[in-house]
Every structure is written in C-alpha cells, then in structure tokens.
Structure 1
Amino acid sequence: MARVSALFHSFLLVSSLLLASQTLVSSRKLEKKPSLVPGLSWNYYFIECLNLEGIVKGHLEKAFKTDKGLAPGILRLFFHDCFSNGCDASILLNADDGQDEKSHPANIGIRPEALQVIEDIRSRIYLQCLPVVSCADILVLAARESVRQLGGPSFDVPLGRKDSFTFDLDGPDNLPPSFFRTDELLDLFAERDFDATELVALSGAHTYGRSHCLSLANRTTESDPPIDPDFKNKLLATCPTLDSDNTVDLDVRTPATFDNMYYINLLNRQGVFTSDQDLASHPQTKEIVNTYASNQKEFFKAFQDAFVKVSQIDVITSRQGKGEIRKKCFTPNKKSMVSVEGAVEEVVQLAETI
C-alpha cells in the first residue's frame, strides 16, 4: 500500500511539473517573443535541470564582484562564437597545436578568464544535473547574464543547442573588423539576415568593456568619421603606437555599465572604433543611433531581440541528429563513453572545492 501511495505522489509531481511547463510556455507566447529555430524552446531543461539558470546566475554574480570586466569578455565570446560558425561552442575547443578559432586574428584579445568561467559553470551544472546541458547553451546563458547583471535588460533565451565536434579555422573571417565602414557592416550583417536596426542595436554591446590599441587603426590618424579633438588626444596619450599593450575604455562615460551611453558617445564624436562612429552619420543608421541615445528602453528592447536572433545562428539541435553534449567544454567527447566511475570522480573532486 505504501508503495502504491509513493507511486501516486510521484505521478502527481510529474503531472504538476508538466502542467507548470505548459503554463510557462503559454505565458511566454503571450509576450510575443522572437520566433524560434525548430529544436529550441524557452524551457528546454525544465525537467532535466530545473535550477540551470540559478546556477549560472549565482556563479557569475560572484565572478563579477571580483572582475566586472569579465562580463563584456563573455559577451564578446558569445558573439564571436555565434556570428562566426553558429552558436555551437566551437570557439571553446582547444587544438593540440594551438591552431584553433581563438588563434585567428579576429579573436585576438579573447579573455582566457571568459573561456575558463564557461568551463567552471559547466562543472557546477554537472554537479547537480549531470551531463545534460551543452556548453553552447551555457555560453548563451552566461552572455545574457553578462548583460543583465551589469545594468542591461532582463530577458529569456531559448535553449536546446548541441555542441560541435570540431571548429572551422575560416569561420572567424565572418567577424566584422573595427575599421569597417557602415556600408561594409550592412552588407556583412545582411548576409546573416540582420537589418540596420539590428546592426545598430548589437553594436551597442560596446557600451562596456575595453579594447587594445591595435583596434584603433584609422581612428587616431584620420578625421573621417569625425572625432572630438580632446577625445583623440586622450586616445593618443593612451595609445602612442598601435602595438602598445595599453587598453582603452569603449565607453568613456560608464565603462562598466550596460546602458545607452555608447550612442551618446557617438553623437559627441567619441566612438572608439571607426565601425562605431560611422554609424552616427550614415543615412541608414544615424536616426537609429539618435533614437537609442534618447531612449534606453528602445535600445534594450532592440538589443534583447537581436541577441536572441544571434543566439540561433546555425545552431545544432537534436532534430538534426548531430552534435553532442561535451563532457568538457574545451575538448570533444571521446568515441567511447565516459565511465560512471570517471563521472563520479569528477563530481567528488568538484564538491570538495565548493
């Protein structure tokens, strides 16, 4: 009789979870969220890892208290992974000879700490949920938190991505360099089905973070696009040469906050990159810059929708019958399954460090 009662209570619990899941989906449909790629969903891990977002949030809250610069580093990692080869965590993979995506010139400056924090989160997730969450999904969640926790919008992201088996050394060629003019950016983003509004919104990611002097090519030597003289002198003082190891804030007003000050900087001719400043004068983008400079709410809404769209570029899902859930974010799984003893050993070792 006791066994029958236990089974009945288990049935009620599962039924309640499924009902809650359906209610969650229904409520989210009413919010008019961006459309999803087949295979992704807003509550993909609702049963397998209910506290997933709490784990990511909690770990990054601690990390950002120590190093706020980690947030823009993670957001850059997200964009460089997704816009390059699709959101498949290929940028996390290490090659034995060092020739991986991170070695590409477009990825110079990727912070090792940003890479490591994704693996650290993966370890903590597996402690509670075992290997059911992909590194690609962890990166997307971490990037969203990197926006939200530093003052940006709070929004949901769809999940259900699989990790790639390998990387593409030519993929980073798709990433826009800092010296591009707006016409070139519009063409590049159009190839990924992004319009001018989305381009300007995504460029707002430069509202925090820092850049190495090498990325300032043209900005300190040319007057087109225009540059504020005092701002130019400050850049030259920090970066007397392009090979200097110094770095500059991408936002001179609020360098550690995700807000709309980036656009106000552009209106004051204080954009660090040529690709940024040119947006303020190009006929297809200048009014969008003005809108976001005067209305942070409009910027936040456009950014979160564009973020979700980026997060779905060329994703691998279970519907395609390829991809995997990596046991370690930096390496693909071996052909043979990881032993139960090995998995338990990792959990025990991690538990001892927490």
Structure 2
Amino acid sequence: MPRFLFKLLALVLLLGGLAAAAVAWLPLPLANSPLDFHIERGSSLKSVARQVNEAGVGAPPLALELLGRLTGSAAMIKAGSYEVHKGVTLWALLAKLTRGDTSQGELAVIEGWTFRQLREKLDANPDLRHDTAGLSNAELLRRLEIPDAHPEGLFLPDTYLFDKRSSDLDLLKRAHRAMQARLAEEWAVRAPGLPYKSPYEALIMASIVEKETGRAEDRPMVAAVFVNRLRRGMLLQTDPSVIYGMGESYAGNIRRRDLLADTPYNTYTRPGLTPTPIALPGVAALRAALHPAASEALYFVARGDGSSQFSATLDEHNQAVNRYILKRAPQTP
C-alpha cells in the first residue's frame, strides 16, 4: 500500500474512533422503552451492530463497530436477549453486551400439572418463541429427540429462567434432561425389593403419588399403600388415574359409572400400574415412590383438612370412611 494511502486510512480510522468516542456518552434514541432485542449466537461485531440498529436501538452501526474495536470488545459480546431503557448510551450498551447482561423470562412448572397444562402455559408465555405451536405431541417428541411414545411425566417441575425470545423447545429439552437426571439419581439409591421393573414404572408411581397427596408429609405413606397393593396383587383403585383416563370429558366430579367404565387408566378395572404417568411428578414424589414408608397400610381416606388417614385392614378403613366421609361416629362393639 502506498505510504500516503496508509496515512489516509490511519487518519480516517482515528477520526472515526474519535467520533465514536464522542457519541459514546450520549443517550441513544430508542423506538420504545423498554426495548427488547436479541443477538444471535456466533454473530460478528458488524452483525451485532446491524441487529441492534434493526431492533430500534438508535445506535449507528459504524459507531458501535468502531467503539467495539477500539475497546477490544469485538470478541467479547455474548449472544442472548437484552433489554435497554431510555437514556442508555452507546458505552453502556456495549458494556451490557460484553457482560452478557441478558434479560430473562421465567416459567414455573408446577408439580401435578399434566403435559397438556404445561403446553398451555408454554403457549401463553409472551417471552418465549413458540416453535411447538401446532405440533402434535408425537411431532413434538420427535423434535425433542425423545424416543418415548407418550410425553406425560417426562418433564421435571421447577422454575425455569430463560433468555427472552428463546425457543419453547429449548425449555422443554432442559426440563426433560432434568427429569432424566433426577429419576436416574433416585433410582440408583432406591429401597430394595420395590415392585418396579424399570425407572419408568417408578415414574408412573411417582405421578400417582403426586396426584393423591394432599400434604407433602403424606407422600411416603401414600407410596407405601400403593406399593403394598402392588405386592399383594390388589387393584390400586386411585381416582386420579380414572380422571386422567376420562380426558376432556371430566367435568369436575367422578361418578360410580366412571369408576366402572373401563379405560387403560382405570385402576378400578385393571390391575397394576397405569400405562404411562398421569401427571408431572416433582422430586419429592419421585423420592417417595422409590423410598416408601415402612408400613403395612393398604388403604387411606382424606380427613378433610388435606391430610389422610391410613389403615392396614378393611375394617379400620371402613371406620375411617364412616368418620371422615360419612361423618358417622365409630361403632363400639
């Protein structure tokens, strides 16, 4: 390069750098405040400057690019979603991008939700990108590369933080990995002699325990009742499984004819566990299913205050039903 062109280029860069430095402390015009924008993974500094400008942050792309190069920040910018407010400067914007000070959304996945409820909450979350919208459950599982045929119970209830505008598929992947990890941990230290052939059967039991428990401290006893019934070949006779099998026809109450109507999930008509989980169980339910209480109880009935009365014999159970359900005083011999 001729010497005079080299000097000219150096002068242009110097003047550009000075100009960028001069505007770096001025408030940037925003299309609205607060304003959200997203930086794609693997973006170059030039691409970042363009994305910021196109999102409505009035940062001149050349000024942001020059300031990034002058400060050595070109390779330090983090991908993710960001939120800026009125008064932000070019300098503050660049600092936010290099710190990775991303804005986050939040989704609380609640123990006992069904997968249908989880999908409804995902679809309603305004901070997620809804890539699962319109997908069938089977298509969704294929997108997640999950080999199971049914999604129920496969996602761990927890509060998940995520970059705004990230995909709901990514959140589901995290929830699935978390459930797989926790199930494997609990299975590895399970109590001996449990009547489960696989971790999946333990997951099914955990979902039943989750739906049948009014108080957290009752979970190990509820699990003990169902484990004892499985060991003796007794029907589980759990109403939540019947309700799950009714699907959308369930109108808030369960009738005798519902208990008699045979479905794959009717544990009054079919022995053993249900074919799949009936809800999303939490960690405590997993632990209870794999570490049930040491008890001979075969029955339980709700006391009406959220707790349950457990009984080892049918006679004791009938007395508890009379007391807590029929509201009759126990019979004295």
TM-score (norm 1): 0.25
Give the number of the structure whose residues are more often strand, by fraction: 2
TM-score (norm 2): 0.26
Whichever of the two has the greater Rg, that structure is 2
